[in-house]
């Protein structure tokens, strides 16, 4: 009798443990049943197709929702990367490339569909030209957060405008297919995340670089209304004026202006028309696409207007945000030139404003031209847009703004700053635990990593980064020391490089006239 009781107790214990550790390895979404795999103790769905493959006649068209499938779809493999020249992302080298790339992933710690967990959606960067959605984030998932990552079309496939495409669209627009992909992926997550134990009302979108710019665009797009409750943009915004030339990252193009890039590519490929363009092999298109040739444009549909003006009017998706930049963002995108070439280029871009630029960013040696160009790129392409975003939303919105400035000169970085500081991407190891190079971090940096990752986790859970035992991060207020400075620890301080921010505010205001 005692033996039977022991066996029964053991069986019940195993049953309880099994139930406690149960994973949602199979669930049902709007397209049908789907099955994931076990990964680090969680359920991982690697490659969920949220749209039909944008191939053949669907190349350069808005994404089409994925049709229902028969049987059980096995999401046990990562989807292919979009066609691209390089891939700087983790795990990407293991993946193939194809236009059949519209996939997303879900990693969930939920034990039940009724758990209603918060959701973090990563939009990868890569200059709208490279990158991959593949990868997981156990540090977030262990904290009860569902981690999703989405893929979208890149380069010419995602952002080429063309007169024939505009005519074909029925709306007289083209390009921005990558943005439309992001919107459809977010809609799929919003509509289906409950099947993975998530709460559709607790979705936070996040991105770095082009991913951050995408987050900024989505925050102003009416197409994304109601799809997320919080946003995190690391080193990315989209507040430039609208113009006919991007000219050194000083404007967003109209669709009409962007169409010139599509015509140029057609000429390079010796295609007579759109029908022939759609038959050109994908890698031939990639080989003929220069860096930053194709970029989101103001089409009046997904991007309705100059984002600065939209925020002035309060016409945007008003959610809580974390936004910020790094102290040496531009170093990754700059190269030394002669002083005369540097000055000539400044005059070409800034015209009557050139003398002010040269006064703020002086250079008397070739090495100094590198530093000057790096700082101009940092401020004009990254920092000013974040500054404008913070000022505008804090005036016209109800959503809270948390602004940071990352300035830690760490060994754990992709590109070491030559003057001391934080280059592009440098904040990511401190938030997501990435390891670059030796991956070495000082004791102070390890503590910074614990605090910064906790800020991001708390924000995803509650819309507020603050929590017990953390340095208090107050909401941004213009002119007050409310920026979280991240250097050898964390403390609140004023906006950095204020004179440069003031210059770009005046410069871009003039360009808007």
Catalytic (active site) residue 209: yes
Q: Which of 105, 134, 174, 209 is catalytic?
A: 209
Query: Which band of pLDDT confidence, cut at 50, 70 and 90, is reported for residue 95?
Result: confident
Lookup: tokens for 318: 């008003």
Mean pLDDT (the chain) is 93
Produce one character per residue of 3-39: b if its CB has 16 or more CB atoms within 10 Å, e if not.
Answer: eeeeeeeeeeeeeeeeeeeebbeebebebeebebeee
* Helix ranges (DSSP H) in 144-209: 155-159, 163-169, 177-192
pLDDT of 11: 41
Residue 500 has pLDDT above 50, yes or no: yes
Domains of the chain: 34-222+248-312 (3.40.50.1820), 318-512 (3.40.50.1820)
pLDDT of 18: 40
State which H helix or E strand residue 366 sits in: helix 366-377
Of the candidate ranges 77-91, 105-119, 219-233, 247-261, the one whose mean pLDDT is the lowest? 77-91
pLDDT of 93: 59
pLDDT of 244: 87
Query: Which band of pLDDT confidence, cut at 50, 70 and 90, is reported for residue 4?
Result: very low
Residue 342 has pLDDT above 90, yes or no: yes
Question: Mean pLDDT throughout 63-78?
Answer: 97
For the four alpha carbons of 192, 195, 200 and 204, in that order, the dihedral sign comes to negative
Query: Which band of pLDDT confidence, cut at 50, 70 and 90, is reported for residue 20?
Result: very low
pLDDT of 19: 37
- Is pTM beyond 0.85 here? yes
pLDDT of 89: 53
Q: Please compute Rg for the chain using Cα positions.
A: 24
Residue 45 has pLDDT above 80, yes or no: yes
State which H helix or E strand residue 444 sits in: helix 443-462
């Amino acid at each position: 009798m005692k033996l039977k009781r022991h066996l029964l107790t053991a069986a019940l214990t195993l049953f309880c443990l099994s139930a406690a550790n149960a994973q949602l390895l199979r669930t049902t979404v709007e397209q049908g049943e789907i099955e994931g795999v076990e990964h680090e103790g969680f359920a991982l769905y690697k490659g969920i197709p949220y749209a039909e493959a944008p191939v053949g006649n669907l190349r350069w068209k808005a994404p089409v929702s994925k049709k229902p499938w028969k049987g059980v779809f096995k999401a046990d493999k990562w989807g292919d990367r979009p066609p691209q020249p390089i891939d700087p992302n983790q795990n990407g080298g293991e993946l193939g490339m194809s236009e059949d790339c519209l996939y997303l992933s879900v990693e969930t710690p939920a034990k039940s569909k009724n758990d209603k967990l918060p959701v973090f959606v990563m939009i990868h960067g890569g200059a709208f030209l490279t990158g991959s959605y593949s990868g997981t984030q156990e540090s977030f998932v262990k904290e009860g957060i569902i981690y999703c990552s989405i893929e979208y079309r890149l380069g010419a496939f995602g952002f080429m405008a063309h007169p024939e495409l505009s005519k074909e669209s029925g709306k007289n627009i083209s390009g921005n297919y990558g943005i439309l992909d992001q919107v459809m992926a977010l809609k799929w997550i919003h509509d289906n995340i409950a099947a993975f134990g998530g709460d559709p009302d607790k979705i936070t979108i996040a991105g770095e670089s082009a991913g951050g710019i995408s987050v900024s665009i989505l925050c102003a797009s009416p197409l994304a209304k109601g799809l997320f409750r919080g946003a995190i943009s690391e080193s990315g915004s989209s507040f430039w004026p609208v113009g006919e030339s991007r000219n050194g990252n000083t404007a967003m193009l109209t669709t009409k202006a962007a169409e010139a890039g599509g015509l140029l590519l057609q000429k390079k490929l010796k295609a007579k028309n759109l029908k022939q363009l759609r038959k050109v092999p994908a890698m031939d298109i990639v080989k003929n696409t220069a860096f930053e040739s194709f970029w989101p444009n103001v089409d009046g549909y997904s991007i309705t207007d100059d984002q600065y003006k939209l925020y002035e009017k309060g016409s945007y998706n008003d959610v809580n945000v974390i936004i910020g930049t790094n102290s040496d963002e531009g170093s990754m995108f700059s190269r030394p030139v002669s002083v005369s070439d540097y000055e000539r280029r400044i005059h070409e871009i800034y015209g009557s404003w050139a003398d002010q630029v040269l006064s703020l960013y002086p250079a008397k040696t070739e090495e100094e031209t590198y530093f000057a160009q790096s700082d101009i790129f940092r401020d004009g392409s990254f920092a000013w847009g974040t500054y404008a975003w913070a000022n505008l939303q804090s005036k016209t919105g109800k959503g809270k703004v948390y602004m940071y400035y990352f300035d830690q000169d760490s060994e754990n970085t992709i590109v070491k700053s030559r003057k001391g500081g934080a280059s592009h991407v440098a904040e990511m190891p401190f938030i997501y635990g990435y390891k670059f190079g030796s991956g070495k971090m000082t004791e102070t940096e390890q503590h910074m990593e614990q605090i910064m990752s906790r800020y991001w986790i708390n924000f995803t859970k509650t819309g507020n980064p603050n929590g017990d035992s953390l340095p208090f991060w107050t909401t941004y207020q213009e002119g007050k020391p409310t920026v979280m400075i991240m250097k050898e620890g964390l403390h609140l301080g004023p906006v950095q490089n204020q004179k440069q921010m003031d210059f770009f505010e005046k410069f871009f205001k003039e360009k808007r006239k």
